[in-house]
């Protein structure tokens, strides 16, 4: 036999994963005899024995089978990518992940830019770790995110994620106009850190918290972590908390005369805002490249 089929490859993987021809048949919705015949023909086409069928542990891979198993997974993954490409060509709809805290700020300009290239977008929200997991599991194609400090733990697992910074924005402190720190004028950071603080929970702010913590000695920081900008603003409006936020999140719609940006003597580290995606797979397709370009232009326009 000169060749082999994708069905044979999938049956081989099912047997390897289940350790049984009978269980493999259930996985691929086929009779045990059909799976056994399929795998036998696959072995004949390759000229090697892939399984030890007489092991006390059941059906186990031979050394050659272990090597072919890795190759087989790559082949089926490539075929899945081709299927996604075919479906995307018919209906260019991409799923966009966005860190929940910045969705209201970036969503509308992004979708306006996408319409100019004929790509429809579906939004998925979450915190930055959830967005990274969605990319890793191919539940979204691209994400708008703040600088992800914890990204290394995903790249070590082979997720092959890439973050492209579009712009940097300073972190500022905001307070209610009646808060003592708002009436102080240019305040040293050490004075601000004496009060109760509020930050939006994400990896970029985890980095910020570590920085702030390094600026104090003695009593630990009193920090409240919140999920959204609206919750942070609600805390600030009570006059009990000073909030730390990336400056680009402060828009006319979210800001009012009761709130003020605290003048600080020191400058806080900037936060990067950019595009996060899984390198390879869809990242070279025309619709994906167009979306990435649209997202970058939307972010630049937003910061403009």
Report pLDDT digits (tens) over 64-111.
999 999 899 888 877 776 666 665 555 556 677 887 767 766 666 677
Mean pLDDT of 112-140: 71
- d(CA 138, CA 126) in angstroms, rounded, equals 15
Report pLDDT for 156: 47
- d(CA 10, CA 26) in angstroms, rounded, equals 13
**pTM of this prediction exceeds 0.85:** no
pLDDT tens, 220-250?
788 888 877 778 888 888 889 999 887 777 7
pLDDT at 6 > cutoff 70: yes
> Which of residues 281 and 172 earns the better pLDDT score?
172
Confidence class for position 119, pLDDT limits 50, 70, 90: low
Confidence class for position 140, pLDDT limits 50, 70, 90: confident
Confidence class for position 41, pLDDT limits 50, 70, 90: very high
């Amino acid at each position: 036999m000169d060749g082999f089929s994708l069905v044979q490859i999938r049956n081989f993987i099912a047997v390897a994963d289940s350790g049984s021809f009978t269980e493999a048949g259930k996985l691929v919705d086929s009779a045990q005899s059909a799976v056994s015949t399929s795998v036998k023909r696959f072995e004949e086409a390759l000229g090697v024995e892939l399984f030890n069928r007489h092991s006390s542990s059941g059906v186990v891979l031979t050394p050659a089978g272990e090597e072919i198993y890795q190759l087989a997974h790559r082949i089926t993954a490539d075929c899945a990518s081709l299927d996604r490409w075919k479906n995307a060509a018919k209906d260019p709809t991409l799923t966009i992940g966005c860190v929940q805290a910045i969705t209201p700020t970036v969503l509308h300009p992004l979708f306006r830019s996408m319409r100019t290239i004929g790509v429809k977008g579906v939004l998925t929200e979450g915190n930055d770790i959830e967005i990274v997991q969605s990319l890793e599991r191919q539940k979204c194609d691209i994400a708008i995110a703040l600088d992800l400090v914890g990204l290394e733990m995903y790249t070590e697992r082979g997720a092959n994620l890439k973050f492209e910074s579009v712009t940097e924005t300073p972190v500022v402190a905001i307070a209610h106009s009646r808060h003592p720190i708002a009436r102080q004028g240019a305040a040293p950071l050490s004075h601000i850190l004496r009060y109760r603080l509020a930050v939006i929970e994400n990896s970029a702010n985890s980095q910020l918290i570590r920085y702030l913590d390094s600026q104090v000695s003695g009593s630990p920081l009193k920090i409240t972590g919140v999920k959204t900008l609206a919750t942070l603003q609600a805390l600030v409006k009570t006059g009990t908390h000073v909030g730390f936020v990336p400056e680009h999140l402060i828009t006319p719609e979210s800001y009012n005369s009761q709130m003020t940006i605290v003048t600080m003597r020191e400058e806080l580290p900037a936060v990067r805002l950019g595009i996060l995606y899984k390198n390879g797979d869809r990242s070279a397709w025309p619709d994906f490249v167009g979306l990435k370009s649209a997202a970058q232009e939307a972010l630049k326009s937003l910061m403009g």
